[in-house]
Structure 1
Amino acid sequence: MSFLDLPKADHFVLANATLPAITVEGYDAPATEGLVSADLIIAGGKIESIVSPGTAPAALPRADLRDGMVFPCFVDMHTHLDKGHIWERRRNPDGTFMGALENVGADRAQNWTAQDVRARMEFSLKTAYAHGTKLIRTHLDSIPPQHDISFAVFSELRAEWQDRVALQAVALLPLEQVLNEPVFADIVAVTKRHGGLLGGATRILPDFENILETLFRAAADNGLDIDLHVDETEDKQVLTLKTIAETKLRLGFEGKVTVGHCCSLARQDEDLAKRTVDMVAEAGLSVVSLPMCNMYLQDRHAGRTPRWRGVTLFHELTAAGVKTSVSSDNTRDPFYAYGDLDAVEVFRESVRILHLDHPLDEAARVVTTTPADSLGRPDIGRIKAGLAADLVLFSARRWSEFLSRPQADRIVMRNGMGIDRRLPDYRDLDPILDR
């Protein structure tokens, strides 16, 4: 049961709304803790205008939000839809990063048919949609021949879901294969054919600089952007992030480059970390932190309490002018045993893990405007006259209320209408999990 009944009309008012000011464009009002009050006038499935409370035309039907918060629909810019929900079939007994790699690899080799990948990806999309997400970027394991299977399924789902969730995909390829010319050429061709991005997980490899330069040149030659998993380790000796920034600058690469994780940056000494942060800013890289998954995997040792949170230098990167976002990462697979692709959960936990509070004035941007901009979709993740009325309505009125509960009674609006928020049943996955 929702906390509010929406008007059954094409033209109506969401009255007495509380909006995160950082997500609002074309409306100026005094803010308290980064929150502004407004009436939203909805017409024809779009936001017609944003006006001061009580000034919307009295004749219009209205729903009184009683100061309830309204967000734009969310952006989840780093996920792994192809891995999702295999936990019951292939667990990670010790919860370590190596255990995750090994168990995902074994499951992929045995089970990742087109039917299997499609069923799990679609389940994830249904979940994210019900929670209020509108844009997702997923990494797809691209170890041949899996890239052909997964990208084909992705393209089908992108077409089927285009009116509900916008999708982007990154080829997560083994970087040592970049110098294997025929294999790499095939991965690039498949990625380009399906409108994807090039990616991979960086680590210290022989001839790493050559690998990186080859990857960048291939992306430039084919008009592709890049999205890399970077330094996902507690080992302070691993710092490929600086090399990525240097390579982009040296080659004059004009495409977008996103880097995820960047965990070991937080293990560096202050001088080295600052030089790297400055280089990332100069290169114009976008950084996405995955706080829940990073805290789950990093500094995990049997019988020992973790000593650090596993996340990157989020505040320092932000202060340097870097576009910083947070996302969900893995869902119920060996890399992260939990999660539900719920951006509210990701945001709430990120506030706590990364200390995005005190003040909270701009915190909402990390799951809305900033990731939308990083993904080249400035039409998503913001509240603005003329944009689709794709909104998430909450009974919570202030940050303390919002961050203290899971907001299970939220209303998700798409094109000005409430959607069916029932989540898919885990039992739907039983046939492919061989339970």
Structure 2
Amino acid sequence: MIAGPTILEAVNLGGQTVRLTLAGGKIAAIVPMPGAATQTILPLPVEPHVHLDKAGTIGRCRPDAPGLFGAIEAMARDKANWTAEDLRTRIAAGMEEAWASGCRAIRSHLDWNEPEVPLAWHVASEVAQDWADRMPLIRSSLSGIDVLGHPEIGPAIAAHVARDGQVLGAFIYRHDDLAARIALVFDLAEKHGLMLDFHVDEGLEVEATGLDLILAETIRRGMGDRVLCGHACSLSIRPDAPRVIDAMGRAGMALTVMPTTNLYLQDMTPGRTPRLRGLAPAQELRAAGVPVLFGTDNVRDPFYPMGLHDPLESLRLAALSAHLPPGDWVEAITAAPARALGLSPQRLVVGEPADFVLLPAPDVLAALARPGVPRRVFRRGQLQP
């Protein structure tokens, strides 16, 4: 028996109340309706920044020291537990959670701080194959810039990443010889045709200016559409931030803001309530033409001991912490990360695949009003179980 069309009534689609007809896995008709909407549809979100190799470790791995570097030390100790089975279980669980939230695609950073290919990279590649027909798992290597920018180590990492068709990434925070190391990483990206994804300036020190060096290389080489930066927390306190933000807008380089992890780790001092939020200035960045993305980042690990792999929850927390009207920032979890990851933005128009998230609320603000955003996910016109 051939199933008939699915009809959704009183749907808020881009601010207009419509009747939506789904047939053959596509949007068959969109007809305006009178009256107020009772439910809202959004494109499937795209997750631009997570750490599936670290996720789910908080139960066995607690930091001894506060802040980012305390979390890094704790995570390094936990790597003794990273067997193939452990990694596969945790990475697959993160994928299932992202799938249930409605994700269309996901990019995960994977630690790579030795010349050899890490076990987590191999395991994540296997999980990616398992998920290839459902949700792409894009992998980005994550090496300290002292490792990736080393002339005897970086080329081998870049060559392997290129063979796998993935993304080259580095962590940068006030390292020595930054200009030369960043230039080498850009050389490797140009040689192999790779996209770049940097963790940069993840701290509240005005001297953290690695973003400036990345920006200079991006502009010099015309690579704005291939470079994504994340964090840039120091922009929130740098007196010269307007100059940097303006240059980013002209370069076409996107930036991922991480509400959970940066709110949690920045300005962390035991026995003292934090005064600073540690978020990159999302409003000013977007006003300057910088594509702003919201990333989930860490989930239930030493960097952030709570959370879900759920971009809608990232939007919810970004709206709270950065004073944003959430309905105006949906693009930060949909079209903007799609473009930054090299995917085509999804269009909810007649003839396109019926892939979307259906929220039981008249608008995005109402949908995000309570924790644990309820939703129904449609893929190819079918309700996801």
Question: Given the two structures, how large is their TM-score scaled by the length of structure 2?
Answer: 0.94
Aligned equivalent of 1:52, options 32, 53, 63? 32
* 1:148 positional shift: 3.7
> In the aligned structure 2, how far is the partner of 1:248 from the partner of 1:411?
40
Once the two structures are overlaid, the 10-residue window that deviates more, 206-215 or 171-180, is: 171-180
Aligned to 1:25: none
Aligned residues: 383
Say which SS state the counterpart of residue 351 (structure 2) adopts. Answer: coil
Query: What amino acid sits opposite 1:362 in the alignment?
Result: D
Cα 1:255–1:371 change in 2 (3 A) is closer
Once the two structures are superposed, residues 182-235 of structure 1 have per-residue CA deviations (whole angstroms, 9 ceiling, x without a partner) of 322221122112211111111222221100000001000001010000110011
Aligned to 2:121: 151
Aligned equivalent of 2:335, options 365, 369, 384? 369
* 1:369 positional shift: 1.4
> In the aligned structure 1, how far is the partner of 2:150 from the partner of 2:210?
21
Aligned to 1:42: 22
- Is 2:82 the counterpart of 1:102? no
Aligned equivalent of 2:356, options 391, 409, 413? 391
Cα 1:284–1:409 change in 2 (3 A) is closer
Question: Gaps spanning 5+ residues in structure 1: where?
Answer: 1-7, 22-34, 55-64, 421-435
Show the 5 A alignment for 1:312-351: 312-351=280-319
Aligned to 2:273: 305
Once the two structures are superposed, residues 118-165 of structure 1 have per-residue CA deviations (whole angstroms, 9 ceiling, x without a partner) of 110000111111111111111010122674422222222222112321
- Is 2:9 the counterpart of 1:12? no
Aligned equivalent of 1:265, options 211, 235, 248? 235
Cα 1:254–1:373 change in 2 (3 A) is closer
Aligned to 1:200: 170
TM-align CA RMSD: 1.9
> In the aligned structure 1, how far is the partner of 2:65 from the partner of 2:304?
12
* 1:326 positional shift: 0.6
CA contact (8 A) 2:8 2:20 kept: yes
Cα 1:379–1:163 change in 2 (3 A) is farther
Aligned equivalent of 1:403, options 364, 368, 376? 368
Once the two structures are superposed, residues 246-265 of structure 1 have per-residue CA deviations (whole angstroms, 9 ceiling, x without a partner) of 11112334751000011001
CA contact (8 A) 2:17 2:37 kept: no
Once the two structures are superposed, residues 392-430 of structure 1 have per-residue CA deviations (whole angstroms, 9 ceiling, x without a partner) of 11211134421212355421111111122xxxxxxxxxx
> In the aligned structure 2, how far is the partner of 1:44 from the partner of 1:419?
15
Query: What amino acid sits opposite 1:47 in the alignment?
Result: I
Aligned to 1:24: none
* 1:67 positional shift: 2.0
> In the aligned structure 1, how far is the partner of 2:170 from the partner of 2:192?
17
CA contact (8 A) 1:224 1:255 kept: no
Once the two structures are superposed, residues 283-321 of structure 1 have per-residue CA deviations (whole angstroms, 9 ceiling, x without a partner) of 211011001110000000111111111101111110110
Cα 1:88–1:146 change in 2 (3 A) is farther
Cα 1:250–1:66 change in 2 (3 A) is closer
Aligned equivalent of 2:381, options 416, 419, 424? 416
Once the two structures are overlaid, the 10-residue window that deviates more, 201-210 or 157-166, is: 157-166
Cα 1:364–1:179 change in 2 (3 A) is closer
> In the aligned structure 2, how far is the partner of 1:368 from the partner of 1:255?
17
- Identify which of structures 1 and 2 has the higher relative contact order when contacts are C-alpha pairs closer than 8 Å and 6+ apart: 1
CA contact (8 A) 1:151 1:191 kept: no
Show the 5 A alignment for 1:67-78: 67-78=38-49
CA contact (8 A) 2:327 2:365 kept: no
Say which SS state the counterpart of residue 191 (structure 2) adopts. Answer: helix
CA contact (8 A) 1:137 1:167 kept: yes
* 1:385 positional shift: 2.7
- Is 2:191 the counterpart of 1:221? yes
